[in-house]
Amino acid sequence: MIPVALSPGHPLTDGRTDRSPLVQALRAGTTGNRPEITPVWFMRQAGRSLPEYRAAREGVSMLDSCLRPDLASEITLQPVRRHGVDAGIFFSDIVVPLRLAGVEVDIAPGVGPVMGQAYRTRDDVARLVETELTEESLAPIREAVALTVDALGTTPLIGFAGAPFTLAAYLVEGRPSRDHLAARALLRGDPETWQRLVDWAADLTGTFLRAQVQAGASAAQLFDSWAGSLSLADYAAGAAPASTRALTHVADLDVPVVHFGTGTGHLLPAMRDAVTAAGVRDVAVGVDYRTPLDDAARLLADGHAPVPVQGNIDPALLAAPWDVLEAHVRDVVRRGRTAPGHVVNLGHGVPPDTDPDVLTRVVGLVHALGADWTGQDDAHEEATRR
C-alpha cells in the first residue's frame, strides 16, 4: 500500500528504499521477513569521530551547521561513504526545532544545549507555547533532506527528533542536568503546566519529524535522552502520552519508527506502547547497552506481538582490543536473533575519540555474519579448540 501522504517520488513509494535491509528489518515485526544481511548504523556516526566532519565544520557553530542545507547534507553523507553503513541519520540536534520556532537556545561547547532562560512557571510556559514552526522555518530542513536523499540513492535516510519529555526537561532545567530535578518537580508539582509544556513540545518535534519524512526520510527515530530518569509511573503519566502525540504527526505516512532512550530498560514496553498508541504500524525499540538484547526482546514480547530491536554495542568497547570488541559484537548479533528483526547499533552514541577504522571494521563484521548467523558455529569452534 502506498501511503497517500508521501509523494510519488518518495524513496519508499518509487522503490528505492522499500527493500533495503534497514526498512525490511524495521518492518519484520509485521511482515515476518528478515533481510539477507543484518543492517547496521551508528548513533552519532556523523560527528566528531570523523576528520572530514571536523574539517567541514571548522568555524561553523553546531546549530548553524544543522541549518545550512548543503553542510547538513554533507555531514549526513560522510559516514555512509566511509563506513558503508546501511542508513544515514539526518544530521541535526534535538533542540533544532526550538531554534526554528524562535526559542533562544545555543549549544555551548563542552556543555550542550543552553536556553536563554529556564521555563519553570505557568507564565513562562504560557509565553513559550505562543511560538510555533512554520513552513518557512522548516524550509532548510526539507532542502537538506532532499539533497541527502538524492545522494543516498538506495540507502535510506532516518529522520531524527527528540522526544517531548527530553525537550521539556531541557527547557525547564535551562541546560543539561544529571538528575532533571526541576523537570520532575514540575511534572509532579504542577501537572497542568507540565502537560501544556509537553503537549507543545510534542507538536513541535512531531512537525519537525514529519517535515523530514515528507522530504524523503524512509524511517524515523524518536530519541528520549532523559526518560531514564523517570519511574515507570511518572513516564506513563507525564511522558508517554506526549511521545504518542508527537508520533501521530507521522503515523499516516506509514514509515517505520524506532523509539530509543538511555537508561530505559525499565520502560521498554511502555516506550513500545507509546508508539503503537499513535497508530504507527511498524514499531522498533532501541535498547541501550545496559540491557542484553535477548532480555529486551523477551520483555517486549511478553503478552504482546514481538517487535524488532535496535542496538546495542557498548560504546566503551570501541576503544577495547579488537578481539574483545569482536566477541561483543558477535554476542550482540546472536542475541538480536531472538527478535523478529534486528538493526545493529550502539547502545548510545559514537564517542568523539573513536577510531573511525574501528567502526568500518564493525560494519564489515556484522555484514559478514549474515542474517542467519546464530553463533552456533562459534560455539562449535570454541568446543573444538578445547
Annotated binding-site residues for substrate read: 44-48, 93, 170, 225, 348
Determine contact, residues 272/297, Cβ cutoff 8 Å: no
C-alpha span between 173 and 115 (Å, rounded): 9
At residue 276's C-alpha, the angle toward residues 293 and 13, to 5°, is 95
The single residue of 57, 142, 196, 361 carrying the catalytic annotation is 57
The single residue of 34, 44, 184, 245 carrying the catalytic annotation is 44
57 part of the active site:
yes
48 part of the active site:
yes
C-alpha span between 66 and 76 (Å, rounded): 10
- Give SS3 for 174: coil
C-alpha span between 72 and 217 (Å, rounded): 14
93 part of the active site:
yes
Closest CA to 242 of 262, 222, 257, 217: 222
Q: Which residue has the cell 519511574?
A: 231
C-alpha span between 247 and 330 (Å, rounded): 33
Q: Which residue has the cell 524495521?
A: 26
44 part of the active site:
yes
The single residue of 170, 184, 288, 337 carrying the catalytic annotation is 170
The single residue of 86, 93, 282, 314 carrying the catalytic annotation is 93
Burial degree of 347 (CB within 10 A; 0-12, 13-18, 19+): buried
The single residue of 48, 68, 196, 361 carrying the catalytic annotation is 48
Q: Cα Rg for the chain, rounded, in angstroms?
A: 20
385 part of the active site:
no
Determine contact, residues 101/131, Cβ cutoff 8 Å: yes
Contacts with 123 (C-beta within 8 Å, 6 or more apart), sequence order: none
Contacts with 219 (C-beta within 8 Å, 6 or more apart), sequence order: 22, 23, 26, 87, 156, 157, 158, 159, 255, 256, 257, 258
The three cell numbers locating residue 201: 513540545
Residues annotated as catalytic (active site), given as ranges: 44, 48, 57, 93, 170
